[in-house]
Structure 1
Amino acid sequence: MARKHIAGVAVVTVALALTGCSASNNSASGGEPSGDITVLTNRTDLVDTTFKDYKKAFEKKYPKVNVKFEAITDYEGEVTTRLSTGDYGDVLGIPASVTPSQLPQFFEPLGDTSDMKKKYRFLNDKSYDGKQYGLPTFGNANGILYNKRIWKEAGVTDLPKTPDEFIADLKLIKEKTDAIPYYTNYKDGWPLGSWQGQQGFSGDTGVVTDRDKSDAPWSKGSEQYITDALLFDVVKDKLSEDDPTTTAWEGSKALIGSGKAATAVLGSWAISQFQQAAKDAGADPADIGYMPFPYQKDGEFHSAIGGDFNNAININSKNKVAARAWVDWFTNDSGFAQSQGAIPAQVDAPNPSTLQDFTDAKVKLVELDKAANPSLDSDIYNKAQIDLFGNVYRQKLVDIARGAADGDMNSYFSQLNKEWADARTKVKS
């Protein structure tokens, strides 16, 4: 299973803010690491291989600790449900469903964010009231994964600089190759959240605050409009798979790797996985490229970078010292970020070779500003029941575009604006 990078909070059906959990006396700092710890992970593809090597190396350094992994396929859904029970391992990746204000209920503070920023980046997502509750496993850039060979066969030699150019390029792929121009991964759903991950493509690092101040984020010219209108047009113009209800995430890797499909909006975490899929399919891993979102400001591309899953300590853990030792070791010593071709969390670490395409295109990497009220964005879209980083509202967008649901793009955007404005009023009051 791949990491589903979500730089925000999804709408969930279980109530997380039940009763706050109280911390035990076993602080995460001080003392010698010892005892058994359970580490929850979404990486079902690595738990029996790479993670076994990590266990061996960690236990060599801390011989009194025994690490057990629990790999979960439906990580987001299952772990979100387990949070209310207190039974969610000792170390885990923080589910996207947890809002910033809920972090102290479920996780042990790791230190002051201001101090930790001297050593680590990508901390804003899991910080609350000056305290840090998670350390990112690595960081991602955001953009579009594509098969260079197919794009070249279609006659496309320059990166698209506008949404219209992107659509035109996909049409050339449909006309001149046998590849599916764009693959939505509609059925699995979560990859559609990668479209929201593109926020910041205009270079506006305050895009989240801008959205939270607006009663109509889906207005022409806004990032939200540009992003969702592009997805709508891709599907409306029949540039995606014939039946999106039959897509398959694992299968999409082989499709794009082999050139049977050409393009997908995904975080940079996906590059190494698709390169491996190309190799497994007997194709050239170098065929897998990564382009920025088709939009320029002042002649420059931009890509927002942010943390992937953040490792955290269960506030109910009986072995917090050992759990903290694992979090620190995984972040600093495991080499996990490098193995995934991702951006390391350490501020002084170099960017990975997987982002060479971005380097060549002179893409400016930006970190989005931390909002004055870090919970406001999620409070609004949860109240509006618009899962910006999930799949439901974009699946409906795709359904409308392909004629499987009533309405059109403008009517749907008007509906979303109304729901957003109503939610803003309720949240503010």
Structure 2
Amino acid sequence: MAASKTGKSMVESTRMMARTTSISIRVKASRGAPQSPSRKDGPGARTMPRFTNRSLRTDRDHKRYAPMHSPQAMRCPPHDRREDRYLRKSVPGEHLGASQALRNVKSTGNRRYLLRADQPSTRLQCVREVADIALAIQTKNLTKVYNVGWGKTAVGIDDLSLEVEEGQIFGLVGPNGSGKTTTLKLLLGLIFPTSGSAEVLGYPLGSPAYKARIGYLPEGPYFYEHLNAPELLRMYGTLFGLGGAAFESRIQELLELVDMWDRRDARVANYSRGMRQRVGVAQALINDPDLLFFDEPTSGLDPIGGKDIREVILELRDRGKTVFLCSHLLKEMEPICDNIVILARGKLITSGSVEELLSSDTSGYRVEAREINEATLADLTARAKQVIWLDDTCRAVFDERAKAFDAAAMLEDAGAHLLTVGPDRRTLEEVFIEAVGEETNDASDLQSG
């Protein structure tokens, strides 16, 4: 009896092993190629799923979205793949079909490319059409009111309307609490407005469609301190689905651009503030964005480092990028910005091109000099229409160009230190003080941005 039972158990074990081996073989075969739902290996054999490898599933097998590395998605460029994934995930149960509308995908310069998905999901084709677009950012009556508790509110931005053209450097300036940070957070989609509307790269605020095409450098960037620069950029690149040899080359290019390639092996924990700022600029460029938001990009940099970052910003504009700058360093904004908006207490005070803002109401010429003795100063005052002192610098204003140059020659002959001779032109600092005034902000303004 014992031998009979042992024999039966051995037979059952053998049958179980054979059945398991058969199933394992069919599973491995199904991973190599799709199996027909009606195909069977023999009488009573189990029908395996049509696709057992997730990377091979199509939209019809998984209607929410196909993986980014699926065959039909791989036919699209990287930007299209990523954007298509976001949009399909946003509408559960929807799959690509002939009735699906055009989707905006990629913008270069002043042209926006569109992706049309008008074929069945198993034969997805990327058809690009071109549409003109002129504005990178547009806000209309944008308002943000914060609830600070106890029934009190604070106005961050009040009825802000502005337009930022593509391919320019746009400066947003204002005193502390004027609403600069609130405006930046609204445009980045981090917070939402109380009223009004805005579009970024042709999309409404908060849309994931434009977030993949922007770069952002905060004022005080924080990074994982155990990483070095290439590892840091590699981590941010994977968030955009980037990889491969081309991506590694781009990491080197960006680190060379911000003068960090020679120090690439140093850990972030050992970085100075200026080095962190340089790597922050590189991470903002990792996805080759069309629009960049920089909040105090030269903060913490020495004069040479600040000059290097300004040159990078100018080069980005030459490449067709749009740069949105927030800064209180007016002397650094003046030579690089195309247009400037000045905010105070959440309201737009003045705006325009740099040339328009700095132009003087009255035409004239100015001479600036230092180390002027009393006799020379008396002679200069008799010649000039106006003489004013700015710290240790004497500025004289003349009606005619010839008078200004004669006065400059006189100052030079008298041994004075001549600084400038040219048209009377205001500085951005003078425009700012004139627009904002000497008033200080109250507590509610400080909370707003």
User: Is the pair's TM-score, using the shorter chain for normalization, greater than 0.5?
Assistant: no
Structure ranking higher in strand proportion: 2
Q: TM-score, normalised by structure 2?
A: 0.23
Which has the higher Rg, Structure 1 or Structure 2? 2
Q: TM-score, normalised by structure 1?
A: 0.23
Higher relative CO (Cα under 8 Å, sequence separation at least 6) belongs to 1
